[in-house]
Structure 1
């Protein structure tokens, strides 16, 4: 949802940066890999150690690099290659899964809060399913480009929760994870319904 409304404004900021990165010799695929490796390293290093604020800023910073690979592709005169699209989606799943696992580790092993850990695991699983439903639907000629929380919203809610909780805001992580858990399950249902409706129309 956020992607639709914010894309034009974000592109005005990232396109000049993308053009500069292309001029100095970087490629969109390299930027994708750099962003993913940084986000993964930040998540697995900081969150299991209970360093929520540092983890939040490191993961957020590298996640923002994901905005630049598209800008770099546009600077090269296109929307990217088919391999680049698959690499980008695969790296997104790796980064998201690692962040979800690291947050769940913190909840279960560091905070030792099983209820909060359950919320984190629901977010982790449902987040992967949201992306899978869309990809699987598109592979069969259907669409599932709907839902209340896409990747941007999931990252924002998670990292706002970890950051505020790390700064001492009571229950910030609890609210964020349970809110995201509910919204993610709703999004899975929305996408499955969209696929079902598309299949019914295709068979009519």
Structure 2
């Protein structure tokens, strides 16, 4: 997850633009959907055509919309339950399209079938990481942390994809295999966090002493 210092610098760019869009009546949900549509289209158009650098650059541009819609909600002074669900759903769609596009490249023009396994592992494990958190929060448990969350997954995948498109050897191989292992590790971490949270909630609090227990022995 982006650290506090990174968020401060990013907010300096997104917040003025968010206020400008809100002042002109643009809804955060519109930006959310536009960013998702752009990310999906770029991933499924450029990557299978072996245009990895251009694809990574365009996807990165649309992924930044995810930061902008949150800033717009803050600028508007409130968010909605529907907006939160829409944002989470669109995140899963965009992530799935990115790794599906990479797997498509690996199994097609890239001729990297073994690497395609890594891309598919990233796809499945990344969705599981997010699903475990959502399912646990639906059950009333707080789940935070993990080795690689969405921001890290996108950064590693897009940097590896872009560098490979520029001709850096094995950049995508390293990125996808590292990410596959780290994502599977994060799934285990999330399950362990949920288990501990569930166990802590299941333990009943100590009973308060009653009048008879509080009274001193004669």
TM-score, reference length from structure 1: 0.96
Alignment deviations for residues 79-113 of structure 1 (CA, whole Å, 9 cap, x no partner): x1000000000000000001110000001111121
Q: Distance in 2 between matches of 1:40 and 1:202?
A: 40
Look up the match of 2:156: 157
**Cα shift at 1:151:** 0.7
Quote how far apart the aligned CAs of 1:16 are: 1.0
Unaligned regions of 5+ residues in structure 2, if any?
204-218
Aligned residues: 203
Please tell me whether the aligned partners of residues 43 and 55 of structure 1 are also in contact (alpha carbons under 8 angstroms): yes
Q: Which residue of 2 aligns with 1:15?
A: 15
> Structure 2: how far apart are the matches of 1:189 and 1:117?
22
Equivalent residue number for residue 57 of structure 1: 57
Q: Following TM superposition, by how much is the alpha carbon of 1:5 offset from its aligned partner in structure 2, in angstroms?
A: 5.3
SS in 2 for 1:2: coil
Deviation at 1:182?
Answer: 0.9
User: What does the per-residue CA deviation read over 1:113-142, in whole Å, with 9 as the maximum and x for residues that have no partner?
Assistant: 111001101000000000000000000011
TM-score by length of 2: 0.90
1:72-111 map, 5 Å: 72-78=72-78, 80-111=79-110
Task: Report deviation, 1:7.
Answer: 2.7
Larger Rg belongs to: 2
Who is 1:194 aligned against?
Answer: 193
1:185 maps to: 184
Aligned-residue Cα RMSD (Å) equals 1.1
**Greater CA drift, 156-165 or 138-147:** 138-147
